[in-house]
Amino acid sequence: MIITDFCTGCRACEQLCPTHCIYVEPDEEGFIVAKIDENACVECGVCVKRCPQNNPPEKNVPIRVVGIRYKDNDVLKESASGGVFIALASRVLDEGGIAVGAAYLDDWKVGHIIVNDKAFLYKLQSSKYVQSDTFRTFSEVKEYLVKGRKVLYSGTPCQIEGLYSYLRKDYDNLFTIDLICHGVPSPKLFQKYIKWLETKNRGVILYYNFRDKSSGWGLGYKTKTKTKIITKSAALDPYYYHFLKGDIYRECCYRCNYCTRDRVGDITIGDYWGIEKEHPEFYSTKGVSLALINTPKGMNALSDAEELFYIQESTFERAVKANHNLSRPTERSSMRDTIYLRMNELTVEELFEKELKYPFNLMTALKGIFPVWLKLLLKKMK
């Protein structure tokens, strides 16, 4: 039996299966895929029926669209854009709830964890541009919901839809945040990338942040070994360059059902790219998030926390201009298959230095040393 042709690896079916005969396994490319143990399967069909890819639930049309920035600058600097996630998560924890999101784990795996202590919320901050494993968080979260605890669950739209499919109903104490998402690369490729960085920098990678803000809000990473701190623009790194170009995503991302205006989460968050043109007075080098408030629950969550933020009212039409994944999935590139095929044949050096080549961009290299005011001027002139 085939569960779906379109598995996103959300893991809802595995936790729904009454005979526990579904398990997940990484495929050749390193993405986890749901499999059935045919000997134990009783063909009840629950997995096929409940798979969100076979039966997509109704989505929500955004009610309010805002540019938004957390007022706490110390916390904001560790967030990818405007810190909307961390501010709302802190509020939920203050009310005795829990927050769920993606964190770096051992060996540079990325997975969803449950946080119930504010001291550990930082682990969920910032974007990890690789597929996160939701493990068994759907069933764990259900236990909290049934006990009446507030739950904030954040993730890519396919993960949020997986959670709803697993739960079968909405709970008043559940609040979901889905991300605007380009697509997710494979955990295996990301681990190889970290190995390559370790060889190149002659040291174990102790820290990695895709969204370093030391020279302002943008797309650049910071990594640390015991003796070195390296910061680099996305355009000058093989993994990050090909991530942004759309060359290394999971196959289903190129046919994603969620790259639309209509959303699965109570609130959708992303970077407010283009804010310097749409609302120039609201631009900040500290970062600005875009938030689509999609449900009455989302409206209440934001109005309850409104004093934590600077807010700029906007519209979907303005927001979508520089955020294409709100209107269509990323186009599948011709390089995608070669990269994943070659990943298993080449050494990490060959893979990242030959196969994942990127054009040298003098302007980007120079921008790395430009002061922030000059970068802003260039952005406005574009």
Ligand X SMILES: Cc1cc2nc3c(=O)[nH]c(=O)nc-3n(C[C@H](O)[C@H](O)[C@H](O)COP(=O)(O)OP(=O)(O)OC[C@H]3O[C@@H](n4cnc5c(N)ncnc54)[C@H](O)[C@@H]3O)c2cc1C
Residues forming contacts to ligand X in the complex (CB under 6 A) are 79-86, 101-102, 110, 124-130, 132, 154-156, 179-182, 184, 269-271, 273, 289, 323, 325
List phi, psi (to 5°) of 370: -70, 145
Residues 12 and 50: beta-carbon distance below 8 Å: yes
Q: Which is nearer to ligand X, 36 or 91 (CB)?
A: 91
Nearest CA to 84 out of 322, 271, 212 is that of 271
Q: Which is nearer to ligand X, 17 or 154 (CB)?
A: 154
Instruction: Please report how close the Cβ of residue 94 comes to ligand X at its closest, in angstroms.
Output: 16
Instruction: Please report how close the Cβ of residue 19 comes to ligand X at its closest, in angstroms.
Output: 29
Instruction: Please report how close the Cβ of residue 253 comes to ligand X at its closest, in angstroms.
Output: 9
Residues 302 and 62: beta-carbon distance below 8 Å: no
List phi, psi (to 5°) of 155: 175, -175
List phi, psi (to 5°) of 239: -70, -50
Q: Which is nearer to ligand X, 83 or 97 (CB)?
A: 83
**Alpha carbons 131 and 118: distance in angstroms, whole number:** 24
Q: Which is nearer to ligand X, 129 or 340 (CB)?
A: 129
Residue appearing with tokens 């006990």 = 147
Q: Which is nearer to ligand X, 17 or 286 (CB)?
A: 286
Q: Which is nearer to ligand X, 36 or 178 (CB)?
A: 178
Instruction: Please report how close the Cβ of residue 127 comes to ligand X at its closest, in angstroms.
Output: 4
Q: Which is nearer to ligand X, 126 or 223 (CB)?
A: 126
Q: Which is nearer to ligand X, 85 or 196 (CB)?
A: 85
Instruction: Please report how close the Cβ of residue 212 comes to ligand X at its closest, in angstroms.
Output: 12
Instruction: Please report how close the Cβ of residue 89 comes to ligand X at its closest, in angstroms.
Output: 7
Instruction: Please report how close the Cβ of residue 323 comes to ligand X at its closest, in angstroms.
Output: 5
Which residue is nearest to ligand X, using beta carbons? 101
Instruction: Please report how close the Cβ of residue 324 comes to ligand X at its closest, in angstroms.
Output: 8
Instruction: Please report how close the Cβ of residue 36 comes to ligand X at its closest, in angstroms.
Output: 25
Q: Which is nearer to ligand X, 124 or 302 (CB)?
A: 124
